[in-house]
Structure 1
Amino acid sequence: MFEINPKQITFARVRRRLTKAQLAKELGITSRSLQNYETGATVPDPETLAKMAKLLNFPQQFFFLDEDMPEIREHAVSFRKLSKMTDAMKFCTFSAGAIALKVNEWIEERFNLPSAELPDLSDLEPEEAAATLRRIWGLGNAPIPNMIHLLESKGIRVFSLAEETREVDAFCTWYEGKPFIFLNTIKSAERGRFDAAHELGHLVRDVYTMQHGLTHGPEMERQADAFASAFLMPMASVTANQPPAYTIKYLMKLKHYWGVSLVAIAYRFNSLGLVSEWNYRNLCIEIAKHGYRTNEPEPMERETSQLLTKVLDILHSRKQGRREIAESLSISTDEINALTFQLTRLSVVSGNSITTPKLKKERPKLRLI
């Protein structure tokens, strides 16, 4: 006889950002009853369990899983704008991340994914760290065509954030020696690229801080921003591409070249001392006047996961898909969609063909460009 795992009830409630009182009210029970369910003192009757599963959008079998969900500890996570997050939002985000860890585990059991190739650059200042990482990865000073593809090719697991966590820009963490980055897909594509580079900065410069629970402060975030700016717009490239006049018209060309926002370009030129404070202030005023701080002009196409696309393509060739992943993990397909950039059955990236292995027991190795 399978027994209900009370920790799964707590996990599902937190995932939906509900307090005990809120969930109890929806279920038509007392808060004390729900408290007893979550401590294991009592168990819900079949009717209450069915209602709970429907309200929380988790299959009933999820509550009977013996193995607890992975735990993402707060000290091991780097959040952007942490001070603006409520505890409910924070722990909802942790639970979404925990589901992603299970999805990644499911994928790794069936596919050979790239191993992490991240050096420890914690002893370097942001500018030097960005230049060093570019050199190690053989990127030179060229623009980065796709940040997510680059991160995945270096063994970083990249997932999207769910709708419930829309206030979260991005976050990263290490789990069992693997680096993870989570990106908000509601933001602009340009903002998403910068967020990805920002989190990369944390992964290569703040490993000790994240692993030992040290304080994450504003200075740490400022340095991650500086790393992202230098990584996406190398100093040599910025110097070589100074516009004849610092106007929106000229910056638009550079925006498409580097794949960053107008605000980020203006700030980068200013931080390197290549534009006067007077010109910089006027440029910022003009950008704000046109509404380009919140609505990026001539927006880029949003980047998405190459790795997850290839995984889903191969599964599709086997007449499988998200449903099989969800059923295997006892979660809803909505969770899979939220974490995988809402990917539909897409054509393979960049025209590279995928050869489905003849022996299904073998784990195919995914080649990422």
Structure 2
Amino acid sequence: MFNGKRLSLARKRQKLTAKELAEKAGVSPVTITRLETGQNQADSGTLEKLAEVLGYPVQFFFKEDPALLSAEIVSFRSLSSMTAKERNAALSAGDNGVEVYEWLENRYNLPALDLPYFDPELTPEAAADALRQHWGLSYQPIANMMKLVEAKGIRVLGLEETTANVDAFSFWQNDKAYVFLNSFKSAERSIFDTAHELGHLVLHRHGQTSGADEDTRTAEVEANRFASAFLMPEEDVRARMPRLITADLILRAKKRWRVSAMALAYRLAHLTKPMLSEWQYRSICIELGKRGYRTSEPDGIPRETSVLWGKVLSQLWAERKSLVDVADELSLPMTEVERLLFFILPQHGTDNQGGEVRRSKLSIVK
């Protein structure tokens, strides 16, 4: 049976209002509303036209209800900077991402989720330290953040949007944790984003992160504090950084923790016992900004990519299959599967340093 919720999802993913879709498909806005609310069933001619306009296979509209994520459970950074179309498109990408992972889970044995519940009274820094200890990380720098969270069962996908207003986000769905990363960021900022969203998953597991502006700001500050402490443990920072800190020293030292220069400067100024005074912090930030480090990382590190999806594609290739087959099985547009995976996949069979990708196998569920 035709599923109007699927029509609504596809429309929002393509950033169209009901009126805009109606005009493109040559039907009335009332028809779209009635189809989406389940009051009417689509005839074959209307359905084919809608599928053509939206770029979705006809079979997509006959699948069961999607997850239908809401803004209240998704960790959007700032709803005020997003248009309704951008927010709805991102939520629809999340819905499609959930289905991609459901498809994956039905075929492969994925890593089990290892994200324990911590006392909500813990400070973000204490929660970061507790998770590091739980995962046996000690205080050493994390060599690959995306590989780490995937190994702990967190489901990572990319977010290939045409706007910088939609930032990375995360959510819980059916006791599974998801992180979506924005392709607009530098490699260092994507690593911090991963840790930031991990912070939301740990700190705000049962709470809203996109409600009132004040609540959102508080949640964002907490997630930033978690990410900063998780990536740059105070013990390691104090052991490695000298007393006299300059912008040049930060540019050299940031490579150890694989973070942006601004993130390291912030961490040094916000330790339990700060290593930078407020005046020193402002001065260094001004200097780093003049050198182009406020919005980018001129001497950046290679971008992290997904180990899990690299293995999945290697297995598919061994079976003479590709992402086209994945899209067909999911009844999703190929472009949508590419948008979810392109950012996190090694390109052209190479890793970030240009070396050959090792194609390890996942075990297949029988």
Q: TM-score, normalised by structure 1?
A: 0.90
- Counterpart among 103, 107, 114 of residue 104 in structure 2: 107
- Counterpart among 346, 351, 361 of residue 349 in structure 2: 346
| 1:156-181 deviation per Cα after TM superposition (whole angstroms, max 9, x unaligned) | 01111132564222111111111111
1:363 matched residue in structure 2: 365
The Cα of 1:216 is off from its aligned counterpart by: 4.0
* SS across alignment from 2:284: helix
Change in CA separation of 1:50 and 1:317 when aligned onto 2, cut-off 3 Å: same
2:79 matched residue in structure 1: 82
| 1:259-308 deviation per Cα after TM superposition (whole angstroms, max 9, x unaligned) | 11111111111112111222211111111122211121201111111111
In 2, Cα distance between equivalents of 1:356 and 1:40: 40
Aligned pairs (5 A) from 1:296-307:
296-307=297-308
2:337 matched residue in structure 1: 336
Change in CA separation of 1:243 and 1:217 when aligned onto 2, cut-off 3 Å: same
The 8 Å contact of residues 288 and 294 in structure 2, kept in 1 or not, is answered as: yes
The Cα of 1:20 is off from its aligned counterpart by: 0.9
1:262 matched residue in structure 2: 261
Change in CA separation of 1:356 and 1:316 when aligned onto 2, cut-off 3 Å: same
Amino acid at match of 2:253: L
2:284 matched residue in structure 1: 283
In 2, Cα distance between equivalents of 1:331 and 1:43: 21
In 2, Cα distance between equivalents of 1:195 and 1:36: 40
Identity of aligned residues (%): 42
Change in CA separation of 1:124 and 1:356 when aligned onto 2, cut-off 3 Å: closer
* SS across alignment from 2:171: strand
In 1, Cα distance between equivalents of 2:192 and 2:156: 14
* SS across alignment from 2:93: helix
The Cα of 1:244 is off from its aligned counterpart by: 5.4
In 2, Cα distance between equivalents of 1:320 and 1:113: 19
1:233 matched residue in structure 2: 232
Change in CA separation of 1:59 and 1:188 when aligned onto 2, cut-off 3 Å: same
The 8 Å contact of residues 47 and 58 in structure 2, kept in 1 or not, is answered as: yes
In 2, Cα distance between equivalents of 1:143 and 1:88: 39
* SS across alignment from 1:160: strand
In the alignment of these two chains, the number of paired residues is: 357
Moved more, 238-247 or 182-191: 238-247
* SS across alignment from 1:207: coil
In 2, Cα distance between equivalents of 1:164 and 1:5: 28
Aligned pairs (5 A) from 1:30-49:
30-49=28-47
- Counterpart among 56, 66, 69 of residue 69 in structure 1: 66
The 8 Å contact of residues 78 and 216 in structure 1, kept in 2 or not, is answered as: no
The 8 Å contact of residues 78 and 171 in structure 1, kept in 2 or not, is answered as: yes
In 1, Cα distance between equivalents of 2:177 and 2:356: 25
Amino acid at match of 1:363: V
- Say what the alpha-carbon RMSD is for the aligned residues: 2.4
Q: TM-score, normalised by structure 2?
A: 0.90
In 2, Cα distance between equivalents of 1:124 and 1:207: 13
1:294 equivalent to 2:300? Answer: no
* SS across alignment from 2:342: coil
Structure 1 unmatched runs, 5+: 365-369
Structure 2 unmatched runs, 5+: none
